[in-house]
């Protein structure tokens, strides 16, 4: 949905800087930090970062993908730039799993094959599988040794339900009784599995083959009197990756503005628009703001690893926060692909005025997201660009923040979607062609960057950061700290 400009919207943007939080504030930020910061994030400064990222890709087989030397070099480039500016920088590690082969994980019960999911991502059965007598504990949760009979046949395959405790606890209990493998039976649809069944990093604690079988297979397993054969042959390997984190030393840490962009490229691409452009804009905003500028609300800059293969870096971060840490985050601002050659000018649809994204309901969008969208849309109007809605997605970096109840917002210039005739009349460019024809290809190089668009969008990143570093109150503000009631994610 394309919005129309209006004086009320522009007035609303101005109110972000004019209203203050009801909580006591540290020394006041500059009266109009947003307008001071925005013009400092120039195309040439951002292009210098993009040239550096291109050089890194050139030196590393054309990619900066997670798990490659090109990604490690990208981390070091961003971290050094921030440290040279005076920021305290950390690069926390996290593990993710990279799939090599899906295999055909199955369990054979009384001569019939049932497909299973391989929960033990790093542990497989022998090539021809393993065979054992199925054993069900007396208490089907299998969470305690006392749940099982006093003795079970050596080399048994234990099978349990999916409630009561984590899969790691279920495995450890089964192994303590002498089982060599575990099958977890999923509950019927009307029942809920234990929310902590698969906790973050669970796969690193599984030491024997563990499978997940649906309820129909579970019925067959419960009736089996002869040994079953389990084949878990999906092949994966573990990659240790890093995020990059830097935060201002000024401003309230209880109302933190988190700003992020994903740092890794696709595996076959230098990733200069996707997402070097977002990285360059967020990095240059951090460098121009600096760690010591007086702000009312602290700003934390995040550069995510392992995004291209499932939001691993951002999920590791958000799922690792406790209740108080989640409540201390006022909002999350996300910036992806800010220099598409056939660009559109999109704001994430925080007010849900456009068609909803797949898997996202209006009730899923945290309060305050609409105000963030108004600030970003208002900036684009001031820059002479008509904004349009980008539907919120479950596959975007902001999604874990949404799930945690944190307001989100951001901008993009479009990816592989085709530009419509109406959009071409509105923004120029070629109707019927993708916003970025080189999306996730080896051609996403420095030559793919629309410099004029980058200038507009990069300044918009700085405008939003400056606005909310001053104040999270007003008509475009977010819920104050004392009204946030978030819970740690399972």
The pLDDT, as a whole number, for residue 389 is 97
Is 427 found in the same domain as 296? Answer: yes
Instruction: Name the nearest CA neighbour of 133 among 189, 190, 59, 183.
Output: 183
Of 21-25, 201-205, 209-213, 303-307, give the lowest mean pLDDT range: 21-25
Check whether residue 199 and residue 252 sit in a common domain. no
d(CA 355, CA 63): 35
Residue from 284, 307, 308, 373 carrying the catalytic annotation: 307
Q: Are residues 309 and 187 in the same domain?
A: no
Q: Which two tokens stand for residue 130?
A: 């393993």
pLDDT confidence of residue 28: 56
Whole-number pLDDT of residue 4: 35
The pLDDT assigned to 192 comes to 46
Q: Which of 273, 251, 249, 288 is nearest to 461 (CA)?
A: 288
Mean pLDDT, to the nearest integer, of 383-399? 97
233, 258, 290 — which closes off a domain? 233
Residue 6: what pLDDT? 38
* 213-217, 277-281, 416-420, range with the lowest pLDDT: 213-217
Q: What integer pLDDT is reported at residue 489 of this predicted model?
A: 84
- The CATH number of the domain holding residue 160 is 3.50.30.30
pLDDT for res 1: 39
Active site residue 307: yes
Percent of the chain with pLDDT over 90: 87
- Output the six-digit token pair for 406: 């944190």
Could you tell me the sign of the dihedral formed by the alpha carbons of 44, 45, 51, 57, in that order?
negative
On whether residue 420 sits in a domain, the answer given is: yes
Q: Is residue 2 part of a domain?
A: no
For 344-356, what is each residue's pLDDT tens digit?
A: 999 999 999 999 8
Say yes or no: 379 and 466 in one domain: yes
Does any domain span residue 333? yes
Band (309; pLDDT cuts 50, 70, 90): confident
Q: Which of 181, 205, 233 is the last residue of a domain?
A: 233
Q: Could you tell me which residues are beta bridge partners of residue 334?
A: 260, 410
pLDDT value of residue 47: 98
Query: Does the residue 29 lie in any domain?
Result: yes
Structural domain includes residue 1: no
Residue 146 has pLDDT above 60, yes or no: yes
**Domain CATH for 429:** 3.40.630.10
Please name every residue paired with 238 in a beta bridge, in sequence order, or none if there are none: 97
State whether 337 and 473 are in the same domain. yes
| Domain assignment of residue 460, yes or no | yes
Tell me the C-alpha distance between 391 and 393, whole Å.
6
Are 147 and 212 contained in the same domain? yes
Task: Please tell me the predicted confidence (pLDDT) of residue 96.
Answer: 86
User: What is the overall mean pLDDT for the chain?
Assistant: 92
The 10s digit of each residue's pLDDT in 425-460 is 999 999 999 999 999 999 999 999 999 999 999 999
Task: Give me the sheet containing 252-262, strands edge to edge.
Answer: 89-90, 244-247, 297-304, 252-262, 329-335, 408-412, 346-348, 388-390
Domain that holds residue 209: 103-233
pLDDT of 23: 46
Q: Which of 233, 251, 281 is the last residue of a domain?
A: 233
Please tell me whether residues 227 and 84 are part of one structural domain.
Answer: no
pLDDT band at 130 (very low <50, low <70, confident <90, very high): very high
The confidence score (pLDDT) of residue 413 equals 98
pLDDT of residue 16 exceeding 60, the answer is no
Say what the pLDDT of residue 14 is: 40
Asked if residue 129 and residue 71 are part of one domain, the reply reads no
Residue 195 has pLDDT above 70, yes or no: no
Structural domain count of the chain: 2
Global confidence as pTM: 0.83
Answer whether 426's CB lies under 8 Å from 252's CB. no
């Amino acid at each position: 949905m394309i919005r129309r400009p209006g004086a009320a919207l522009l007035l609303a943007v101005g109110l972000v800087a004019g209203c203050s939080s009801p909580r006591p504030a540290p020394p006041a930020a500059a009266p109009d930090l947003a307008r001071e910061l925005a013009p400092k994030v120039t195309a040439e400064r951002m292009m210098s970062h993009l040239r550096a990222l291109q050089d890194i890709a050139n030196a590393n087989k054309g990619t900066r993908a997670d798990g490659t030397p090109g990604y490690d070099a990208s981390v070091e480039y961003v971290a050094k730039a921030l440290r040279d500016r005076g920021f305290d920088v950390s690069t926390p590690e996290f593990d993710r799993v990279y799939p090599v082969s899906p295999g055909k994980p199955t369990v054979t019960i009384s001569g019939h094959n049932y497909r299973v999911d391989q929960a033990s991502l790093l542990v497989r059965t022998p090539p021809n599988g393993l065979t054992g007598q199925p054993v069900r504990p007396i208490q089907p949760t299998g969470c305690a040794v006392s749940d099982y009979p006093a003795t079970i046949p050596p080399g048994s395959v234990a099978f349990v339900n999916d409630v009561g405790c984590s899969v790691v606890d279920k495995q450890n209990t089964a192994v303590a009784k002498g089982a060599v493998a575990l099958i977890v039976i999923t509950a019927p649809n009307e029942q809920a599995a234990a929310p902590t069944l698969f906790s973050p990093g669970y796969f690193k604690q599984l030491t024997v083959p563990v499978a997940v079988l649906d309820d129909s297979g579970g019925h067959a397993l419960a009736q089996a009197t002869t040994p079953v054969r389990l084949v878990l042959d999906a092949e994966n390997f573990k990659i240790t990756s890093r995020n990059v984190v830097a935060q201002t030393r000024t401003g309230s840490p209880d109302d933190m503005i988190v700003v992020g962009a994903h740092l890794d490229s696709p595996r076959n691409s230098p990733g200069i628009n996707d997402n070097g452009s977002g990285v360059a804009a967020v990095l240059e905003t951090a460098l121009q703001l600096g760690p010591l500028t007086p702000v009312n609300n602290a700003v934390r800059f995040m550069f995510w690893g392992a995004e291209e293969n499932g939001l691993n870096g951002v999920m590791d971060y958000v799922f690792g926060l406790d209740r108080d840490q989640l409540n201390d985050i006022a909002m999350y601002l996300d910036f992806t692909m800010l220099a598409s050659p056939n660009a559109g000018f999109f704001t994430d649809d925080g007010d849900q005025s456009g068609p909803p994204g797949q898997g996202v309901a209006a009730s899923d969008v945290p309060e305050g997201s609409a105000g963030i969208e108004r600030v970003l849309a208002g900036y684009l109007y001031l820059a002479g660009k008509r904004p349009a809605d980008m539907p919120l997605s479950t596959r975007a970096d902001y999604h874990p923040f949404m799930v945690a109840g944190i307001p989100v917002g951001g901008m993009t210039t479009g990816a592989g979607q085709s530009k419509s005739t109406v959009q071409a009349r509105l923004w120029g460019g070629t109707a019927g062609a993708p916003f970025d024809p080189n999306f996730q290809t080896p051609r996403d190089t420095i030559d793919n960057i629309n410099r004029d668009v980058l200038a507009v969008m990069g300044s918009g990143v700085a405008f939003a950061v400056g606005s909310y570093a001053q104040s999270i109150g007003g008509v475009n503000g977010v819920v104050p700290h004392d009204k946030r009631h978030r819970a740690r994610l399972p």
